[in-house]
Amino acid sequence: MVDTNPFLQASVSDGSDPIGPQVTRRKPIKEQLSIFFGLLAVGLCVAFLIGNNISDNAHEHENECGSLASLNSMKPELLRPVSRGPAAGVSEKSNRFFAKVDGTFPAYPWNNSMLSWQRTAFHFQPEKNWMNDPNGPLFYKGWYHFFYQYNPNAAVWGDIVWGHAVSKDLIHWLHLPLAMVADQWYDKNGVWTGSATILHDGKIIMLYTGSTAEAVQVQNLAYPADHSDPLLIHWVKYPGNPVLVPPPGIDNKDFRDPTTAWLTSEGKWRVTIGSKINKTGIALIYDTKDFINYEMLDGLLHAVPGTGMWECVDFFPVSETEENGLDTSINGPGVKHVVKVSLDDERHDYYAIGTYLEKNGTWIPDQPEIDVGIGIRYDYGIFYAAKTFYDQNKKRRVLWGWIGESDSEAADTQKGWASLQSIPRTILFDQKTGTNLLQWPVEEIESLRLKRNEFNQVKVQAGSVVPLNVASATQLDIIAEFEIDKEALERATGSNVTFSCRTSGGAAERGALGPFGLLVLADERLCERTPVYFYIAKGSHGNLNTFFCNDQSRSSAASDVDKQIYGNFVPVLKDETLSLRILVDHSIIESFAQGGRTVITSRVYPTRAIYGAAKVFLFNNATEASVTASLKIWEMNSAFIRSYPRHQKF
């Protein structure tokens, strides 16, 4: 079935029968009864007409699916978001994107069924309450360990401690007791972000930021109480903490998030910590032999003016020639180094690829015009405070990222939890572009695949929507390829107009060569839908620029959720087919274009397209070009994520 007007809804009959009901005639009765029943009949007729009018109006309103007007006639309560984080010296943790000019926004009347649906099935999240940054991931004695920033008391940021979970495959998880809590003067205001380092002898150390009782950010050392325990249940804080305090010239609240350490050729361990000087983001660098005594190097690992505070710095090598990940200490020919920072001011993660000079501890970007903080992002949606680790078990580098909420704090409190982690992603150097990293879901996610639906060579005409027959569309793994009509590519007129996913009209804005892609988490009438799509812009000289976008503007009828349009340019090389992969897991959509060169993660909160009402469609809203799509869509099982057996002694 093809709808030739994909974003205009067809009218729907109100179901009334054009043939009137049969009339049964009665015998004559007394005059007064005739008058009485005559008046009664008139009244019923009026009521019937009024009722029909209300019914017709209701159908008309129901069909206004392009409008996001609330279906609730009651005046909604106005909410005002509260700032959380900056006063304590970290980035803003409250979502305020959708607030009006006066700072308020209308609350939506969520019910328990809607909120229950939002909880994911195969993404990691705690059983309840708030979570943010990934901390200290590692593989140890047959187990993957994942630590994370956690509030054990509420579904909002605050009272931060370290949660802890373990897995055999990065998909199925067991929640363990809290690893570290805020019980010392040097971390009284929070056990903040840190990283793990595995030493020569296989032992583990953790460096983490603590916020003191006076809100000074200091670096602390911790280690397992029992290295023979594969679950690493108990942790000991070094009695001489803190091991590092803010150096002269650095503000007390601008010194945080130590990286995994790496070895120098002199046998010293080297670590970098994020900071800023005025509006210049910087990465301080230290050497140590024992993780207790440190030497601060004279220079900086790197600095970029105008980028503000650098949080959650990450530094790691990538191979220019091999498909494997590299241990953090590897350096030499055929190796590039990545610097990644989380920008406190805008809450996005940026990276750049360059050359590491060990002798003076500095790093130089290959292309300064796409330096850290001004060039390429890990993810063009909601993705922050990312952290990689080297998985020596499978010789790969694995990336974690915090996926925050984009609904209201009131809704999070009502449902009792907030935030997810991304599906762990492998990360490799893109040998074809030389400027990008390739991110891809770890192979273990494929173990959750159930029924496969294949759609081969589906032609989607310009201006049409094609429904795809998928039984359950709230947990999906989608792989798709698109071929655009070559004659239309040649025929299309070039333009000097610069395209941007974010500032465009989204999937409803039609161009000669796009948008086209998929509508996920869509209801049957397309009242709610989240398009994930390509848009090809042809320049005045005939050059083609391809963009990968995610449009949340019609993702929900709710009034208290963020509905941005995400996306960016994606490099498409000669003779490459346009390809994407989408993981749908209830309220999260992770999308990967061209093998993971450009990635977008979004949180969506539909009110209709949930449970069995969620559908998936192909669409092509171009004005000239048809596209041919081939897809494989797997319905996905749920991961096994639960508490470690309570009878187990720790």
**What beta strand segments (E) does 366-405 contain?**
376-377, 384-391, 396-403
Q: Are residues 353 and 400 in the same domain?
A: yes
How many residues are present in the chain?
Answer: 650
CATH number at residue 461: 2.60.120.560
Q: Are residues 265 and 386 in the same domain?
A: yes
Tokens 């067991």 correspond to what residue?
174
Mean pLDDT of 382-401: 98
Nearest to 142 by CA among 229, 234, 225: 229
Among candidate residues 396, 422, 441, the one where a domain is terminated: 441
State which residues form the domain around 566: 451-636
Average pLDDT, rounded, for the chain: 88
Total structural domains within the chain: 2
Strand 516-522 and strand 530-538: pairing? Answer: antiparallel
Helix/strand number for the chain, H first, E second:
4, 39
Among candidate residues 376, 408, 441, the one where a domain is terminated: 441
Q: Are residues 615 and 471 in the same domain?
A: yes
Count of beta carbons in the 10 Å neighbourhood of residue 468: 18
Q: Which residues contact 586 (CB under 8 A, 6 or more apart)?
A: 117, 118, 119, 120, 121, 474, 475
Nearest to 582 by CA among 620, 516, 631: 631
Mean pLDDT of 601-619: 97
Predicted confidence (pLDDT) at residue 9 exceeds the cutoff of 80: no
Output b/e per residue, 153-164; b: 16+ Cβ within 10 A: eebbbebbbbbb
Lowest mean pLDDT among 1-10, 98-107, 364-373: 1-10
Does 31 reside within a domain?
no
Q: Residue 286 in contact with residue 295, Cβ under 8 Å?
A: yes
- Would you place residue 19 in the very low, low, confident or very high pLDDT band (cuts 50, 70, 90)? very low
Q: Are residues 203 and 184 in the same domain?
A: yes
Q: Are residues 127 and 182 in the same domain?
A: yes
Q: According to the model, what pLDDT value does residue 542 have? A: 84
Mean pLDDT of 215-243: 97
Q: Are residues 324 and 241 in the same domain?
A: yes
Q: According to the model, what pLDDT value does residue 237 have? A: 98
Does 132 reside within a domain?
yes
Adjacency order of strands within the sheet including 598-603: 449-460, 627-636, 475-484, 578-585, 588-593, 598-603
Percentage of residues of the chain with pLDDT beyond 90 = 79
Query: Which residues are bridge partners to 535 per DSSP?
Result: 547
Distance CA 190, CA 177 (A): 17
Q: Are residues 506 and 412 in the same domain?
A: no
Please report which residue ranges of 344-491 form alpha helices under DSSP H: 409-415, 486-491
Task: Tell which wins on pLDDT, 102 or 602.
Answer: 602
Q: According to the model, what pLDDT value does residue 70 have? A: 31
Does 211 reside within a domain?
yes
Q: Are residues 434 and 506 in the same domain?
A: no
Q: According to the model, what pLDDT value does residue 432 have? A: 96
CATH number at residue 235: 2.115.10.20
Tokens 């009509």 correspond to what residue?
485
Q: Residue 479 in contact with residue 455, Cβ under 8 Å?
A: no
pLDDT digits (tens, 9 = 90+) for 42-101: 444 434 333 343 333 333 333 456 432 233 333 455 556 677 777 777 766 666 555 555
Does 127 reside within a domain?
yes
Percentage of residues of the chain with pLDDT beyond 70 = 84
Output b/e per residue, 279-311; b: 16+ Cβ within 10 A: ebbbbbbbbbeebeebeebeebbbbbeebbbbb
Mean pLDDT of 548-565: 95
Q: According to the model, what pLDDT value does residue 64 have? A: 56
Q: What are the tokens at 136?
A: 């200290």
Q: According to the model, what pLDDT value does residue 329 have? A: 97
Does 498 reside within a domain?
yes
Predicted confidence (pLDDT) at residue 472 exceeds the cutoff of 80: yes
- pTM of the shown model: 0.87
Predicted confidence (pLDDT) at residue 7 exceeds the cutoff of 60: no
Nearest to 122 by CA among 641, 649, 644: 641
Output b/e per residue, 405-419; b: 16+ Cβ within 10 A: bbbbbebbeebebbb
pLDDT digits (tens, 9 = 90+) for 330-363: 999 999 999 999 999 999 999 999 999 999 999 9
Distance CA 34, CA 39 (A): 9
Cβ-based burial of 506 (10 A; exposed 0-12, middle 13-18, buried ≥19) = buried
Q: Among 133, 187, 477, 485, which one carries the catalytic annotation?
A: 133
Q: Are residues 457 and 404 in the same domain?
A: no
Nearest to 523 by CA among 32, 62, 24, 27: 62
Nearest to 500 by CA among 554, 453, 568, 563: 568
Q: What is the DSSP letter of 278?
A: T
pLDDT digits (tens, 9 = 90+) for 415-463: 999 999 999 999 999 999 999 999 999 999 999 999 999 999 999 999 9
- Would you place residue 325 in the very low, low, confident or very high pLDDT band (cuts 50, 70, 90)? very high
Q: Are residues 404 and 259 in the same domain?
A: yes
Does 193 reside within a domain?
yes
Q: According to the model, what pLDDT value does residue 225 have? A: 98
Count of beta carbons in the 10 Å neighbourhood of residue 31: 8
Distance CA 627, CA 511 (A): 14
Among candidate residues 412, 441, 470, the one where a domain is terminated: 441
Mean pLDDT of 263-279: 97
Does 358 reside within a domain?
yes
Does 16 reside within a domain?
no
Q: According to the model, what pLDDT value does residue 474 have? A: 98
Rg (CA), the chain: 28
**Catalytic residue flag (residue 133):** yes
Strand 425-429 and strand 437-441: pairing? Answer: antiparallel
- Would you place residue 610 in the very low, low, confident or very high pLDDT band (cuts 50, 70, 90)? very high
pLDDT digits (tens, 9 = 90+) for 96-115: 555 555 566 678 999 999 99
Helix (H) or strand (E) run with residue 269 in it? strand 269-277
Q: Are residues 526 and 593 in the same domain?
A: yes
Q: Are residues 147 and 291 in the same domain?
A: yes
Distance CA 340, CA 500 (A): 24
